[in-house]
Structure 1
Amino acid sequence: MTAPKSTAARQLSRLRRARLPLVSPIRRLRALLIAIAVVFSLCAGRALQVQAFDAKTYATAAADQMQQTQVLPASRGEISDRYGDILAFTEDTVQVVADPKMIRTNGKMTDGQMTSYDREVAAAAPQQLAEILARHLGNTPQSYLPQLTDPKSSYKVIAKRVPAQTFADIQAEMTQAKLLGLRRITAPTRRYPNGSLASNLIGWVNQQGEAAGGLELSLEKQLKGTDGKEVYDSSPNGKIPLGDNVLIPPQNGHNVGLTIDNSLQLLAEQRLAKALADTGAEAAAVVVMNPNTGEMLAMANAPSFDSNDPGKSNPQDMTNRITTNAYEPGSVQKILTFAAMLDSGTIDPDEKVKVPAVIKYDKVNSVHDAWSHGEITLRARGIFAKSSNLGTITLARKMSKEQLYSYYTAFGLGKRTNIGVGGESAGLLPKTNIADYTRDSNSFGSGLSVTAIQNAAAVGAIVNGGVYHAPTVISTMDGQPYTRPNQDTTPRRVISENTSAQVRSLMEQQALNQTSPAFSINGYRIGAKTGTARLFDPGCNCYSRDRLVVSTVGVAPIDNPQVLVYAVVWNPKKGASGAAVAAPIMHDVMQLALPRYAVPPSSTKGVKLPLQ
């Protein structure tokens, strides 16, 4: 049996038990202090790393988050006519963009940063912004609210093509009301103040700011310029006034001046529209040119389109038929053939020629004149004036194929004029290793193809004294004379002055021997030549039986030509010749052009010369 503990022993035991808890908290405190020291050490180490070793890296990252880069678009150059009237310009417009997240928090980074005032402003902001937008952009406030309050978006395009001044007015109201959340993105808009005027020549720029046709596309490098940029520090409330700011100014595009006469272009287009209505034709075009310089005064197409809204247009009406459409010229080609024969000394205008009733190549293929006749005798002048295919073949056979080809190429056939409009066709001129019947058909305008610009330049060279001038439509760049680098504009003689005078006389005889008033202009002696040819049908690889291309070229005054007008009509439903369909267009445009350029009337009257 164990003896009971004494009173002193029991007290000592209780004392020891009472002291034991004092040891445990001290150890815990030490452990806690050690843990805190470790944490602070880690923080200090991290701070040392951030502030000392990686300071530059983290500073750069923070700066990058604050920096914004904005492209500063270059202003596209203007296009104007010969008198400085604007045909195309760039309007300073913007896209209005909303940030619904910023609107919802009144520009604060998080909801927690918002004061009670911020919450009050933010609650009313969408309605206020919607009302501001409606006042300046139209529509109702309710139409804007869904975009301003989209909880999942920070980027909503509210409107496009808004004038910059309009957005400035919007921004002024926002500043006054202490509202945030709307900003602008620079997005210039190309404008064409005359709508469809010369649109087939000028072309257009799409909504993305990309040139898509005409001179806008072919002169893209000159017109576009070089964009600049601005790099700046920003906060949720916008640009930081004293932050870093780097500005690289844009280099604006060059201003281009054309040889086109705005007013004459309009009159020509109106006359073509009337021709389409009168004849039901598929299309028409007219070239007005100064034959002494090669300058285009008008290049009109119909149907046409509005460069401001190309999306609503028929694609086939958006090309420049004057440079892209290759067709058989018909009897207008006889101007070139007779110029070659006269210049080479092969024929004389008074030379009498026996013209057969028909020329047969085989049992199927033969050539006839437009009017029925037996064997007749015509002077060379009469063959031209009466437009005899058979007489032209008879005379052209006196020349070698190589001679004819040489003259045709000198007149510019078979190659692009490089006038500067994209998509230009070179036409088709058969080489010298051709069959006899091909040479025959080429002489009167069949079996080869041209563009209206080629033919106008060729005839201009023949009637102006015999010097070929490359056709031009671009005259200046930033007010200084401009020559296209890939176009040879050096004038070159192609026939003699005497030959030029002889051909002009032939053209006057055709005009004098026509009964239509379309070949007579009061006070002026004029020369003309008509053409009619069948359109080629690729579907059957043959000539169409019922689709024609008809044309007429006229020059005046015939003794000193100052204006050349060439009209071409594709597939007229009413009328089947150049004299009936194209000549009235030539007449009306010529009648407007002569007094417009103060061309003096002729001092003498034309005299009919013997044809037979």
Structure 2
Amino acid sequence: MGNFGIARERIRWLTGIVCFILVLFGFRLIDIQAVQAQTYAQRASNEMSRTSIMPAPRGAITDIHGFEFARSVSALNVVVDQTLVKDPDKAAQIAAPILSMSIADVKNQITGTRRWYMVARNVTPARWNALNAAFAKYNQSLPREQMSKRIFGFFAERGYIREYPSGKAVASLVGFVRQSGVGASGIESSMNSIITGTDGKYMYANGYGAQIPGSQQELITAKTGTSVRLTIDRDVQWVASQAILAAVKKSHALSGTVIVMDPKTGAILAHATAPTFDPNNTENVSLAAMRNPSVQDVYEPGSTGKVITLAAGIEEKKISPSTVFTVPYSLRVSNALFKDHEKHQTERLTTTGILAISSNTGAIQVGAKLSNNVLYDYLRKFGIGSNTGSGLAGESNGSLPEVSSWSGTTAPTVAFGQGYSVTAMQATSVFATIANNGIRVSPTVIAGTSDASGNFTPSAPREKVRAVSAETATKLRLMMESVVTANGTAPEAAIAGYRV
């Protein structure tokens, strides 16, 4: 075979090899475009698209007239696809000062294999734009051989921050929300399950580690949380908050609480405590400052508890406002010596007089006319030892020992308001019961709720309990006025032109 034959043979072999390769490519093309077309299309779609959470805003908390005490305001959350960050050291150096974070924290959050990770919450649009601009400037400065180090993978997702327009004036009542979005105290906590919205989900096109504008496709619609309308009147609340702050400061007290209640409906019109905190800035606030003392702290009612003892005595017709007692400074009962708060000679006092000077020994004598069971039952009728159901977070029941456990000194102790404990809300309810002609209406701060469309659902009517008759309540109101007379224990509480 000559050289020409050898060359022709080689051409045939090369042609055969090329044809064989083309046939293989053909089969592969058919496999890709026909057999596995859907699989590869889905894979390409997955590479080019991302799904993300669409946060839902919390419902608002308003006063009785609709003024917002708490509302959700749009903000941005910065998230990262860690697999797209090729130079975490440089990315952290750029992002940290803009996000007000340490370089170490940022690097830790952007390093790894997670496709979605939260870097910073509640970032303003200005900061997000500054971050994008800084990354773009750095990327443009890289020479061509270092293009692989360009910074991609940071995204902004819509979020919400909580805003409290009335600030400190409603802090203990409304509470605040943690950075995680969960209510931490107040109404934000007690009603968290309905105020919290339901997050949605959306899909977007991803190009080189950045969201392509206009590519969002909603998968699950976010649902706004339920709004809560309180019984609070903003104007009354503001006056109450200023008054309690001034009173605590003037008296050098550790704390104070003021509650304004409508006796007929149980609606709390104002609820303020001091000291307080700013719910818009809780970073350095102690847990103690976030407590709501009106329902979480308990104390022995003392003199205010005598009202229940006298109400029971009058209702049971054991005494009247004019019944006269011999009232000594000290009185021994069951080998225990009880005393009045100020030393005095033995006096002849009416029941009204006993209340006016808040005599312990006088109240003990009134209580002695009642059996333990009867006195206990009246305490329960006035709500002692029971949660008021006010709607406030962490409310205590107070304490009232079972009558079966009473000793010989329990009844006289209970008669003048010791030996059991109440919250400020329970104490308020006691006096509201007297003001409401003897009917106790359980207090509440919740007027109702509104869905995202604004449809309002009022709260269920409050529980009503007849504690004493209207006649007894009327007598008690007149007797209580004696406390602010010149001979009473609180003449400074008298207000000209008003019955107190």
Pair in the same fold by TM > 0.5: yes
Q: Is contact 1:354–1:377 with CA below 8 Å preserved after alignment? A: yes
Note the C-alpha offset of 1:284.
Answer: 1.4
Separation of aligned partners in 2, 1:190 and 1:391: 53
Separation of aligned partners in 2, 1:391 and 1:60: 87
> Could you say if the C-alpha distance between residues 333 and 515 of structure 1 is closer, same or farther in structure 2, counting changes exceeding 3 Å?
closer
Q: Is contact 2:356–2:488 with CA below 8 Å preserved after alignment? A: no
Q: Is contact 1:474–1:482 with CA below 8 Å preserved after alignment? A: no
Note the C-alpha offset of 1:94.
Answer: 1.4
Match in the other structure for 1:403 = 374
Q: Name the aligned partner's letter for residue 48 of structure 1.
A: I
Match in the other structure for 1:523 = 497
Aligned counterpart for 2:47 among listed residues 59, 65, 85: 65
Aligned counterpart for 1:412 among listed residues 373, 383, 388: 383
Q: Name the aligned partner's letter for residue 47 of structure 1.
A: L
| Mean CA deviation greater in 433-442 or 232-241 | 232-241
- How well do the aligned residues superpose, as a CA RMSD in angstroms? 3.9
Residues 305-352 of structure 1 deviation map (CA, whole Å, 9 limit, x = unaligned): 111111211210101100100111111001111112211222111112
Residues 250-306 of structure 1 deviation map (CA, whole Å, 9 limit, x = unaligned): 221222221222233233223333333333322211112122221112111111111
Q: How does 1:408-447 map to 2 (within 5 A)?
A: 408-433=379-404, 434-447=406-419
Separation of aligned partners in 1, 2:193 and 2:34: 50
Residues 226-272 of structure 1 deviation map (CA, whole Å, 9 limit, x = unaligned): 2222223443464375x793443322122222122223323322333
Separation of aligned partners in 2, 1:251 and 1:99: 26
> Could you say if the C-alpha distance between residues 168 and 21 of structure 1 is closer, same or farther in structure 2, counting changes exceeding 3 Å?
closer
Question: How many residues are paired up?
Answer: 469
- SS of corresponding position for 1:436: coil
| Mean CA deviation greater in 342-351 or 253-262 | 253-262
Note the C-alpha offset of 1:420.
Answer: 1.1
Q: Is contact 2:77–2:159 with CA below 8 Å preserved after alignment? A: yes
> Could you say if the C-alpha distance between residues 99 and 67 of structure 1 is closer, same or farther in structure 2, counting changes exceeding 3 Å?
closer
Aligned counterpart for 2:59 among listed residues 77, 83, 102: 77
Note the C-alpha offset of 1:161.
Answer: 3.2
> Could you say if the C-alpha distance between residues 428 and 244 of structure 1 is closer, same or farther in structure 2, counting changes exceeding 3 Å?
closer
Separation of aligned partners in 2, 1:374 and 1:87: 54
Unmatched tracts of structure 2, length 5 or more:
141-150
- SS of corresponding position for 1:366: strand
> Could you say if the C-alpha distance between residues 251 and 380 of structure 1 is closer, same or farther in structure 2, counting changes exceeding 3 Å?
same
> Could you say if the C-alpha distance between residues 91 and 165 of structure 1 is closer, same or farther in structure 2, counting changes exceeding 3 Å?
farther
Separation of aligned partners in 1, 2:235 and 2:441: 24
> Could you say if the C-alpha distance between residues 368 and 40 of structure 1 is closer, same or farther in structure 2, counting changes exceeding 3 Å?
same
- SS of corresponding position for 1:298: strand
Match in the other structure for 2:148 = none
Separation of aligned partners in 1, 2:318 and 2:14: 120
Q: Name the aligned partner's letter for residue 246 of structure 2.
A: K
Separation of aligned partners in 1, 2:99 and 2:2: 85
Match in the other structure for 1:504 = 477
Note the C-alpha offset of 1:163.
Answer: 4.7
Match in the other structure for 2:429 = 457
Q: Is contact 1:465–1:500 with CA below 8 Å preserved after alignment? A: yes
Separation of aligned partners in 1, 2:438 and 2:492: 26
- SS of corresponding position for 1:327: coil
Separation of aligned partners in 2, 1:515 and 1:351: 20
| Counterpart check, 1:291 vs 2:263 | yes
Note the C-alpha offset of 1:492.
Answer: 3.0
Note the C-alpha offset of 1:44.
Answer: 2.8
Q: Name the aligned partner's letter for residue 493 of structure 2.
A: F
| Counterpart check, 1:514 vs 2:488 | yes
Compare CA radii of gyration and give the structure with the larger one: 1
Q: Name the aligned partner's letter for residue 189 of structure 2.
A: L
Match in the other structure for 2:167 = 195
Separation of aligned partners in 2, 1:525 and 1:36: 110
Separation of aligned partners in 2, 1:269 and 1:307: 15
Separation of aligned partners in 1, 2:204 and 2:129: 20
Note the C-alpha offset of 1:482.
Answer: 4.7
Residues 463-498 of structure 1 deviation map (CA, whole Å, 9 limit, x = unaligned): 22111111111113226665557xx71333221110
Match in the other structure for 1:304 = 276
Match in the other structure for 1:495 = 468
Residues 520-551 of structure 1 deviation map (CA, whole Å, 9 limit, x = unaligned): 1111111xxxxxxxxxxxxxxxxxxxxxxxxx
> Could you say if the C-alpha distance between residues 436 and 362 of structure 1 is closer, same or farther in structure 2, counting changes exceeding 3 Å?
closer
Q: Is contact 1:287–1:298 with CA below 8 Å preserved after alignment? A: yes
Match in the other structure for 1:353 = 325
| Mean CA deviation greater in 428-437 or 35-44 | 35-44
Residues 503-529 of structure 1 deviation map (CA, whole Å, 9 limit, x = unaligned): 101101122233765221111111xxx
Q: Name the aligned partner's letter for residue 267 of structure 1.
A: V
Match in the other structure for 2:122 = 161
Aligned counterpart for 1:89 among listed residues 43, 57, 71: 71
TM-score (normalised: structure 2):
0.82
Q: Name the aligned partner's letter for residue 399 of structure 2.
A: L
Match in the other structure for 1:335 = 307
Separation of aligned partners in 1, 2:321 and 2:455: 45
Separation of aligned partners in 2, 1:522 and 1:356: 33
Q: Is contact 1:327–1:449 with CA below 8 Å preserved after alignment? A: yes
Separation of aligned partners in 2, 1:152 and 1:372: 75
Residues 135-183 of structure 1 deviation map (CA, whole Å, 9 limit, x = unaligned): xx999xxx99xx9xxx9999999975345599699999x99xxx99775
> Could you say if the C-alpha distance between residues 501 and 157 of structure 1 is closer, same or farther in structure 2, counting changes exceeding 3 Å?
closer
Q: How does 1:136-285 map to 2 (within 5 A)?
A: 161-163=122-124, 183-236=155-208, 238-239=211-212, 245-285=217-257
| Mean CA deviation greater in 353-362 or 44-53 | 353-362
| Counterpart check, 1:380 vs 2:362 | no
Note the C-alpha offset of 1:99.
Answer: 9.3
Match in the other structure for 1:600 = none
Separation of aligned partners in 2, 1:375 and 1:307: 54
TM-score (normalised: structure 1):
0.68
Q: Name the aligned partner's letter for residue 71 of structure 2.
A: F
Q: Is contact 1:358–1:368 with CA below 8 Å preserved after alignment? A: yes
- SS of corresponding position for 1:46: helix
Q: Name the aligned partner's letter for residue 40 of structure 1.
A: L
Separation of aligned partners in 2, 1:462 and 1:244: 62
Separation of aligned partners in 2, 1:467 and 1:156: 57
Percent identity at matched positions? 32
Q: Is contact 1:234–1:240 with CA below 8 Å preserved after alignment? A: no
Q: Name the aligned partner's letter for residue 398 of structure 1.
A: K
Separation of aligned partners in 2, 1:355 and 1:429: 27
